[in-house]
Amino acid sequence: MKSVYLKEPNDIKIKQIDKPVFKEGYALIRIKSFGICGSDIGAFRGVNPIVSYPRIIGHELAGIVEEIGENQAGLKKGDRVVIDPYLWCGKCYPCSLGRTNCCETLKCLGVHVDGGMTEYLLHPAHMLVPLSESIPWELAPLSEPLTISIHGIHRANVKAGQRIAINGAGTIGLLAALASMAYGAEPILVDPVEERLNNARKLGVKHTVCIPAQNAAERIREITNGRMAEVVMEASGSNQAIRSCLDMVSYAGKIVLTGWPKNETTLPTNIITTKELDVLGGRNSKNEFGEALELIDSGKVNVRAVLSKLINIDDVPDAVRELSEYPERYLKIVALTD
């Protein structure tokens, strides 16, 4: 079968490998579609220190159950599913709390272990989520980044009527803005790329701030009548943006850090004390695929808006090279296996 294979950084190709063999407790999935994620690009560029090589990449996956044991997660051969790609141990302290997304030995597909940019994938049966017929294959993989966005929203306990300022209008930030509107909150999206913000406004995001031409804190002060944003979500990974969260957030507010900075950020922690902020991490997702699929299916979150391009698996190596060179060119590229 075909796989998208990273021999080492900057060396990507389609490689023929053996189809996995079914084993009990697992399901053999015929992969139908997958998304290319920023973390796949990071793996390609060799800038993500937790990726080991060689590696088959891909963790935004949807497919059809080809083989599964009896009484496994209520699924049977022929069922459509999306893959929950974060493998957790079930024994460590965070797992004991049900916070499996920050398992001490978490293994993410395509990062720590081989991923699913393949024609077939063997995956634990309990890590599959049923996918309704009404969600087309090209949209199903977008449920994965949407779970990351809604996990951030859940961490900050976003409520109707709150203003949520979001740093970064890439896939995660834009989906967080759309999902927060489904929660009745009012997003304020901050990004340096005007085109992304125009796109967001077309999707109903009322407030956008184009930095550095506009001052984010000043604009948020106007929009919120001086209060500032009750919640700030950091979805860019930029050190400057992380620092700016402290100026964008209200007193008694919450900051959720979802982006992955490459370098350490220096912060004036006296602002955290003065405003008595809750500063939260937001990593991966846990049991949030069901809600993400529901938001997609009901049309409350228009994930098609982040789908920039649809390609075939054979074109993925070229697409990864292009995304690596021009990250601003697309939001999400999804590939079909046939």
Q: 101 vs 208, which CB is nearer to Zn ion?
A: 101
Q: Binders of Zn ion among 53-92, rule CB under 5 A?
A: 88-89, 92
CB under 5 A: which stretch of 29-37, 124-132, 155-163, 324-332 binds Zn ion?
29-37
Residue 37 engages Zn ion in binding (rule: CB under 5 A): yes
| Contact characters 89-128, Zn ion, x per CB under 5 A | x--x--x-------x-------------------------
CB 84, min distance to Zn ion, A: 12
* Beta carbon nearer to Zn ion, 58 or 253: 58
The nearer residue to Zn ion, 88 or 120, going by C-beta atoms, is 88
3-state secondary structure of 59: coil
Least Cβ distance, residue 165 to Zn ion (angstroms): 23
Strand boundaries in the chain, DSSP class E? 2-8, 11-16, 26-36, 55-56, 60-68, 80-83, 86-87, 107-108, 120-124, 128-130, 163-167, 186-191, 207-210, 229-234, 249-257, 278-281, 307-312, 332-336
Query: What is the closest distance, in whole angstroms, from the C-beta atom of residue 112 to Zn ion in the complex?
Result: 13
Query: Which among 35-43, 219-227, 268-276, 309-317 is the span making contact with Zn ion, rule CB under 5 A?
Result: 35-43
The answer to whether 81 and 63 are in contact (CB under 8 A) is yes
77 versus 107: smaller Cβ distance to Zn ion: 107
Q: Stretches 3-11, 33-41, 162-170, 224-232: which one binds Zn ion (CB under 5 A)? A: 33-41
**Burial group, residue 109, by CB count within 10 angstroms (0-12, 13-18, 19+):** buried
Number of residues that bind Zn ion (CB under 5 A): 6
Is 59 or 154 the residue whose CB approaches Zn ion more closely?
59
Copy the structure tokens of residue 48.
């993500």
Q: What is the x/- site pattern for Zn ion, positions 304-333, by CB under 5 A?
A: ------------------------------
Q: Report the b/e string of 182-206 with b at 16+ CB within 10 A.
A: bbebbbbbbbbeeebbebbeebebe
Residue 114 Cα distances to 53, 138, 175, angstroms: 9, 22, 26
Site residues for Zn ion per CB under 5 A: 37, 88-89, 92, 95, 103
